Amino acid sequence: MDILQAKIEKYKFCLQNRLIRKKFYNFEYSKEITMSTIATQQELTRLCGLICERDAEERRKQSTLFQRIHGEREPPRLRISQAAKLIGVAPSTLRYNERQGIIQSPENVMPNGERVYTLREINEIRKQLQREPRRPGASAAAVVSFSQQKGGVGKSTHALHFAQYAARRGYRVLLIDLEPQGTITTAFIRFPDLVLHDDADAYQALVADPNALQTRIRKTHWDGLDLLPATPELNYIDWELAQPDQADHPELGRPVYRLRQAIHPVRSLYDLIVLDTPPSMGMLAANALSAADIVISPLVPHRFDLASSAIFFRQLGRLAQGGATRIQRLGVLITRIDPGRDVENHIGIIERIYGGIILQARMGTTAELEKASADDFASIYDISQPRGSRETYNRAINMMDAVNAQILSYATEIWDREAMSLLQEPLANSRDQRIWGKSQEDSLNG
Looking at the fold, whether 99 and 246 belong to one and the same domain comes out as no
Whether 154 and 123 map to the same domain: the answer is no
What CATH number did the domain enclosing 310 receive? 3.40.50.300
Q: Are residues 158 and 231 in the same domain?
A: yes
| Per-residue pLDDT tens digits for 159-188 | 999 999 999 999 999 999 999 999 999 999
Expressed as residue numbers, the domain containing 185 is 142-444
218-219 vs 225-228, strand pairing mode: antiparallel
**Domain shared by 264 and 178, yes or no:** yes
Is the domain of 217 the same as that of 258?
yes
What is the residue-level pLDDT of the chain in tens, covering all 446 positions? 445 555 555 555 555 555 444 554 454 544 566 656 676 788 888 888 888 778 777 766 665 655 554 556 778 899 999 999 999 999 999 999 999 999 998 988 777 778 899 999 999 999 999 999 989 887 899 999 999 998 889 999 999 999 999 999 999 999 999 999 999 999 998 766 666 776 789 999 999 998 999 999 999 999 999 999 999 999 999 999 988 888 877 778 899 999 999 999 999 999 999 999 999 889 999 999 999 999 999 999 988 888 889 999 999 999 999 888 999 999 999 999 987 768 889 999 999 999 999 999 999 988 888 877 766 568 999 987 777 788 889 999 999 999 999 999 999 999 999 888 877 765 445 555 544 443 333 433 43
Q: Does 299 lie in the same domain as 439?
A: yes
